[in-house]
Structure 1
Amino acid sequence: MPKLDLKRLAKDVDTLRSNRPVDRGPGGRRLTGAMEVVRDNLEALETLKASGSTWVDIAAGLAAQGVTQGEGEPITGKRLTSLCASVKRQAARKAAAEARRLARPDLQRRSRPASAQGLPPPDLTPGASGSRLAPELQSRPTSPPPDDAPLSEAEIRQLQADKHRHLFKKD
C-alpha cells in the first residue's frame, strides 16, 4: 500500500473543493434547494395537508413556484413526503442529542444559555459555581526565584523545547 502524502492530499482536496460548482453537492449532484424550502416551511406544508390538500397538489404548487428535484424536474408528491420525513428525522435526532447532552451531569449547571430562557446571566465570579480547581492548579502569586536556585522541571523542559524548536518547524 503506498504511503500517503498528506500535504498533497490537503492541496488536492482544497483544489477539488474550490473547483466544485456552487450549485453542486459533494457527490457532484445538482442542489435544487428543495430540502431548504421544506425545512423552512414544514409547518405550513403540514397545515396545508391537514386542511385537505394532497401531497401531490402541494408538490404541484411548489413546482409552479420553481421548486425542483434532480436535474430540474418538478418536485413530486413522493419526493416531497420523503423530504418532510427527512426533516422530521433530523429534528428528532437533534432533539435527542440535545436531551442526551442536557442529561450529562457535568453540564447540569450550563444546560441552556440564560438569555435564551429569559433569565439573567449566571454569576460568573470565582467561587460562585459548585466546582473548583484543585489547590495545585490554582494560580498563586509567585515571587521570582533567586538566581542561584535550581531550575524547575518545567523550566528545563521549556529550555530544551526552545533549543530544539527549529526541528519542530514545518516546511
Structure 2
Amino acid sequence: MVNKLFIVIKALSCQLTFQWPKEVIIRWCELINECKNMVQNADGVYDKLLNCQRAGLEWHEDLENVCQQAGLRGKKFSKATENFAWNIRVLKGQADLLKQAKKECNEYIRQIKEAAVTTGLARDGSNSGNSNNSNNNSTANSTTNGTDSPNGTPCTTPTMEGLPLPETHLAEES
C-alpha cells in the first residue's frame, strides 16, 4: 500500500480508519504552502502595484503633450488615452484582487489550524499546559509521506494515533 497513507482517528470510544490517497495529501500540502507564500509576499507585490498606478496617474497629466509630440491626433489620440486609462484601472483591479486573495489565504490557514486543534492533530497553545494532557501521548506524531511536494518543501502528515481528544474547543467568531 505504497500509494495510500493511513490516518487513524480516535474519536470517543470508537476507532475510525480513513485511507487518504497519497495524491490528496500532496495537493493539500501544496495548498498550504501556496497560502503561506501568498501571505508572505502579497504586501510587497501590492505596494508595487499601487506605486505603478500612482506613477501612471502622475504621468497621465503629461499624456496629452506626449501624444502630440508623437504625432497622435484624432482617433489615435483618443485610443491612446483610453488604453492608458484602461491600464491604470487594470493595475488597481489586480491590486484589489491580490488583497482579497491574501485575506482568503489567511482565512484558509486559520481554518486549517482550528481544524487541526479540534481533531487533535495539533495542540492549541492554551491546552498545551493542561495537566490532563501532560502524559507521553500528548505530543503529536508526524509521518513523512515519502516524497517532497513538487516545490521542494517537505510534506509531513500528522497522525492522531494515541492522542487524547481536546477537552473543549470554542470557535472564535469574527
TM norm structure 2:
0.27
Higher strand share: 2
* Higher relative contact order, structure no. (Cα contacts within 8 Å, ≥ 6 residues apart): 2
TM norm structure 1:
0.27
